[in-house]
């Protein structure tokens, strides 16, 4: 839950980031501090780390090139931010290499089709995470964990306990600063590497993903991405579907449960790949959700760069506008997906009741086991309860937003 409040101060980067940045300045003074994001170097490093050579089809190359060029030109990364960006991009390339090898070894998995997958999809800060966690507690659902969406290949179910533990430990270390920062926990809790997590990282190895704007100020890349015709995004979602199939190994018979506000931006393409897609769309007043998402993006950006607040505002408003447009477009498809709407106020007031309405709409059985798991999670484990970490205070004024204009926007 988030609470509009007084304007917040512009926070400084974390201490570790400031120390690394200082080292970078010293190294740069003797011409040793440059961190290259050259695509060819990144690909060579990924091949060297995995011992693999095949990235699959080459459609990702243009996206990678445009993304790295936009980062170099626009993102104004700290030295620590460039180190993080290089590691991040290289890991996405390693995912491509490992996925291509998994597709070769498991051809029967590649073209399988998830039956009636469910997607929690609404604008950011509308309750998607709370609802997703409750739905994920259904024993018949397959919702991925944080470490799994970052390591989808080889299929997590095929790893030895030692291999899985190594990956989990890496994500716990990588995101440890985020797990433990009180300012972020008030906005968006990340309790552990084994927490249920949204699935947008499965789009990132295609380098055609709006999620890169979550980390970097890349307006040129974003302009290019959103100019892509929806038909060009269908192969991107076919690739996403193949990674979903890898995560479904060992969970046969379960229903895929995904979640990300970013899917709204190319929803008609996703619906073409998943013709029986079931969508749960959350709603919240724009006067609350838009500045709340601006606050989250500003907080996350501190790990990479100093990101101007007006740039954050423009990114968020573009997400809102395009997402609303795509939901209207998907209604006009010959076979539109089934969409069920959940209001934020209803979800917060009665979480279990909101889940019951979702299950009733899609004719799914709500079992006593699932209800018990949800009650336990809400009472004992819910990291999104503001009583645990304090309220998230933010203000539209922080980002130059006109509250009167926001109130006129559709939910």
**pLDDT, tens digit (0-9, with 9 covering 90-100), for 47-59:** 999 999 999 999 9
Q: Is the pLDDT of residue 17 over 90?
A: no
Write the CB contacts of 342 (distance below 8 Å, at least 6 apart in sequence). Answer: 122, 127, 131, 280, 281, 282, 283, 354, 357, 358
Q: Are 148 and 309 within 8 A, CB to CB?
A: no
Helix (H) or strand (E) holding 346: helix 344-349
Cα dihedral sign for 86, 88, 94, 100?
Answer: negative
Query: In degrees rounded to 5, what are phi and psi of residue 410?
Result: -65, 155
Q: How far is CA 131 from the centre of its chain?
A: 15
**CA–CA separation, 255 and 320 (whole Å):** 29
Sign of the four-CA dihedral 328, 332, 333, 339: positive
Q: Would you call 301 helix, strand, or coil by DSSP?
A: helix
**Strand 141-142 to strand 2-4: parallel, antiparallel, or no bridges (unpaired)?**
unpaired
Inter-CA distances, 220 with 37, 110, 312, 321, 341, Å: 16, 33, 14, 18, 33
Query: Does the model's pTM come out above 0.85?
Result: yes
How many whole angstroms separate alpha carbon 362 and alpha carbon 175? 35
8 A C-beta contact, residue 401 and residue 294: yes
Segment 343-368 mean pLDDT = 97
The whole-number pLDDT of residue 6 equals 45
Coil/strand/helix, residue 63: helix
How confident is the model at residue 122, as a pLDDT? 94
Mean pLDDT over 119-144 rounds to 96
Asked if residue 303 has pLDDT above 90, the reply is no
Give the pLDDT confidence score for residue 24 in this predicted structure.
47
Beta-strand runs (E) in 67-185: 118-120, 141-142
- Asked whether 305 and 81 are in contact (CB, 8 A), the reply is yes
What ranges do the domains of the chain cover? 2-408
Output the six-digit token pair for 287: 């006067």
pLDDT at 392: 82
pLDDT for the residue numbered 389: 66
Give dist(CA 189, CA 182) in Å, integer.
9
d(CA 400, CA 39): 36
Averaged over 332-345, what is the pLDDT? 96
Summarize pLDDT for 5-15 with one digit per residue, the tens.
444 444 555 54
Superfamily in which the 2-408 domain is placed by CATH:
P-loop containing nucleotide triphosphate hydrolases (3.40.50.300)
CA 321 to chain centre: 18
């Amino acid at each position: 839950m988030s609470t509009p409040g007084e304007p917040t101060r512009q926070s400084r980067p974390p201490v570790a980031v400031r120390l690394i940045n200082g080292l970078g300045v010293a190294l740069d003074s003797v011409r040793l501090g440059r961190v290259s994001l050259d695509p060819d170097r990144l690909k060579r490093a990924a091949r060297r780390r995995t011992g693999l050579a095949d990235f699959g089809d080459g459609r990702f190359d243009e996206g990678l090139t445009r993304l790295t060029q936009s980062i170099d030109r626009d993102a104004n990364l700290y030295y620590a931010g460039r180190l993080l960006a290089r590691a991040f991009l290289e890991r996405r390339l390693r995912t491509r290499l490992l996925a291509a090898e998994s597709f070769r070894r498991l051809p029967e998995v590649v073209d399988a089709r998830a039956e009636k997958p469910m997607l929690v999809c609404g604008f950011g800060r509308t309750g998607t995470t709370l609802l997703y966690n409750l739905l994920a507690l259904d024993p018949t659902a397959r919702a991925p964990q944080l470490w799994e969406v970052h390591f989808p290949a080889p299929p997590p179910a095929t790893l030895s306990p030692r291999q899985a533990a190594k990956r989990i430990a890496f994500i716990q270390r990588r995101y440890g600063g985020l797990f433990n920062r009180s300012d972020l926990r008030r906005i968006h809790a990340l309790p552990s590497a084994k927490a249920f997590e949204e699935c947008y990282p499965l789009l990132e190895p295609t380098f055609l993903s709006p999620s890169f704007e979550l980390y970097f100020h890349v307006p040129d890349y974003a302009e290019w991405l959103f100019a892509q015709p929806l038909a060009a995004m269908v192969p991107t979602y076919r690739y996403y579907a193949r990674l979903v199939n890898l995560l479904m190994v060992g969970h046969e018979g379960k229903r895929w449960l995904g979640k990300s506000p970013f899917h709204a931006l190319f929803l008609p393409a996703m619906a073409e790949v998943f013709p029986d897609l079931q969508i749960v769309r959350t709603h919240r007043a724009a006067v609350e959700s838009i500045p709340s998402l601006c606050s989250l993006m500003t907080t996350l950006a501190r790990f990479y760069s100093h990101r101007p607040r007006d740039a954050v505002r423009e990114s968020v408003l573009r997400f809102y506008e395009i997402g609303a447009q795509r939901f209207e477009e998907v209604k006009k498809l010959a076979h539109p997906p089934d969409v069920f709407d959940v209001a934020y106020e209803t979800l917060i007031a009665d979480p279990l009741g909101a889940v019951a309405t979702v299950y009733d709409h899609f004719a799914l059985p709500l079992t006593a086991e699932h209800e018990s798991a949800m009650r336990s999670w809400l009472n004992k484990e819910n990291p999104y309860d503001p009583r645990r970490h304090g309220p998230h205070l933010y203000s539209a004024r922080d980002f130059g937003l006109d509250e009167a204009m926001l109130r006129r926007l559709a939910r």
